[in-house]
Structure 1
Amino acid sequence: MERLSIDAIIAKINAEETFHAVSDDYSLTLKIDEYVPYLCGAVHDGHQFRKELWDNCLHSEYDRWYEEDPETRNMVALHPIVISGLDSRFEYDLNRDPENAVFDTAWGKQLWKTPLPEAEKGRSLQKHSNFYKVVKALISKIEEKFGVCIVYDMHSYNWQRWDREVPTWNLGTSNIDNERFGESVETWRKMLEGIKLPHNIKQTAKINDTFQGNGYFLKYITNSFENTLVLATEIAKVYCDEYKQIVYPEVVSAVEVQLRALIPKHANEFYRKHKN
């Protein structure tokens, strides 16, 4: 893996090079093993939190982990194109627009002992901006090369805080073109429902049951590119104990192995159907 500036990463994409890189500010990773008509994204996988912010933060390290999406990059790590955030959403949230990406309060609790200085906000928002410059270059290249693109936008959610039964997988589709892509959405839902997990973990997959797909990553791509479908794909945190901060690697591995087969299969079907 190379450490590269944002401009160098974009130059490599424009030149259609394959590479593994971390941005020189350590805010994102991107790997491209091959140019294919799909990519995987894990915008909430990051857990880094700048040292300058530690003393001013009222949330604990566990509070942050609880609201992040740990292991979501690992679930898709072996696919040809993977982009992921390295920083905690508590510094800046890649799935919110720039105006709302730096929190004052988070999940009902004040985040900072004293208001964050504008200079600190600016540092964080620059990283947010850089991420989307790379996303724009990447999807532009894929659409130019293949005519269409599909993005598997991986997330996880805390299922135990719901007071009703919730699905193992949720697809958020309220901001995509369902008339055009509805069949691909339903095919993906059925594939997810068929995944087998250890310990007899129940497998269900629903559309817009817990989340509706209102994230900025999805909206930015959908509004910027007319031939790209973003599938906001949420797994309930059945792969960890969300209260004890324990990850179950055998469950993560089971998800990864099955997605390794399912994602290319689904992406190829999408490409055949929509490339013209």
Structure 2
Amino acid sequence: MEPSVTSLPKDPSSLWSIHRGRSPLIGTAIHDGHLIWPHLEARMALDEAGRLREEDPFTAQFIADMANRMVVHRSRFELDLNRAPDGAIYLHPDQSWGLRVWRDQPEAQDVEALMRQHASYYSTLRHILSDIEAEHGGFVLLDMHSYNHRRAGAAALATSQDEAPDINIGTSSMDRARWAHVLDPFIDRLRQHKLGGRSLDVRENVAFAGKGEQTRFVHEHFPQTGCAIAVEFKKIFMDEWTGEPDEAAIADLREAIRSSLPVLEAALDARR
């Protein structure tokens, strides 16, 4: 079966899409993308299905109800925007879950172009966040990702629930005490939501601790006004081996996020 991918933009040179609204909340899906520059794809050893398995398809749908959102259309195997520049290109298997990404590594000029792409994203993000900060006095950024839980194979046992919550909240770079009034109601609201007749299992820093570059960047540059929350969805909304989506689960998880937005706005307002 051919892998399923998110709806790609018509322009294969697309970097990211931005939707700007009037809200102190912003969502990002920086690993949703699947596009790769053709001349770089020709140098890759990892095939499309292997790339898709470690990308975060459909995560853009979880932020579709947010007034502010940024969706990256490039594959993390071209450039991982959630890593610092010196590790954003997976040049060695120990950077990419043991996967050999490149048959022939990118040339120096391509690396330089990708580093400019990385810098451009963070320059754009900083500008948008500064704009939201100026308008609202502070903001919450929901940094959407997903993770695999059937790494041993499609027919193998899944990772135990103890080690793999439905939603993992990552907070390692956050001043937890400062933002508890925002984070705790957000987690509580997600836990109230049901998926397949049961309440969502939402826990903090279990499968991941939220050590990505984007949340670190936000907390470094907006230490008093920016709360960045890494939200990792276990891939219970798709088949991680074929890429096929579970549309009903995606809709349920999107609704869980949508229902949390008034909670986040109220928490921000309470401290102004």
TM-score by length of 1: 0.86
Structure 1 distance, partners of 2:159, 2:252, is 27
1:127 is matched with 117
2:14 is matched with 26
**SS class of match (2:194):** coil
1:167 is matched with 165
* Matching residue within 140, 143, 149 for 1:150: 140
**SS class of match (2:104):** coil
Q: Which amino acid aligns with 1:151?
A: L
Q: CA RMSD in A?
A: 2.0
Is the contact between residue 154 and residue 232 of structure 1 (CA under 8 Å) also seen in structure 2? yes
Structure 2: segments with no counterpart, 5+ residues: 1-8, 152-157
Question: How do 1:52-201 residues align onto structure 2 when only pairs under 5 Å count?
Answer: 52-105=39-92, 106-161=96-151, 163-165=159-161, 166-198=164-196, 200=197
**SS class of match (1:209):** coil
What do the CA deviations read for 1:95-131 (whole angstroms, capped 9, x no partner)? 0011111111321122111221011112222221111
Q: How far apart are 1:61 and its partner, in Å? A: 0.5
Is the contact between residue 172 and residue 210 of structure 2 (CA under 8 Å) also seen in structure 1? yes
Q: How far apart are 1:232 and its partner, in Å? A: 0.5
2:221 is matched with 224
Q: Which amino acid aligns with 1:31?
A: H
Structure 1 distance, partners of 2:219, 2:270, is 18
Is the contact between residue 182 and residue 264 of structure 2 (CA under 8 Å) also seen in structure 1? no
CA change 1:65–1:190 in 2 (3 A) is: same
Q: Which amino acid aligns with 2:233?
A: I
Q: How far apart are 1:187 and its partner, in Å? A: 1.4
Is the contact between residue 33 and residue 73 of structure 2 (CA under 8 Å) also seen in structure 1? yes
Q: Which amino acid aligns with 2:182?
A: S
Is the contact between residue 190 and residue 256 of structure 2 (CA under 8 Å) also seen in structure 1? no
* Matching residue within 245, 258, 268 for 2:265: 268
Q: Which amino acid aligns with 1:80?
A: A
Q: How far apart are 1:208 and its partner, in Å? A: 0.4
**SS class of match (1:258):** helix
Structure 1: segments with no counterpart, 5+ residues: 1-20
After TM superposition, the runs of 4+ consecutive aligned structure 1 residues lying more than 4 A away are 21-25
Is the contact between residue 148 and residue 274 of structure 1 (CA under 8 Å) also seen in structure 2? no
Q: How far apart are 1:84 and its partner, in Å? A: 1.3
Say how many residue pairs are matched. 252
2:248 is matched with 250
Q: Which amino acid aligns with 1:69?
A: D
Q: Which amino acid aligns with 2:89?
A: V
What do the CA deviations read for 1:241-263 (whole angstroms, capped 9, x no partner)? 11222111111112223322222
Structure 2 distance, partners of 1:188, 1:22, is 35
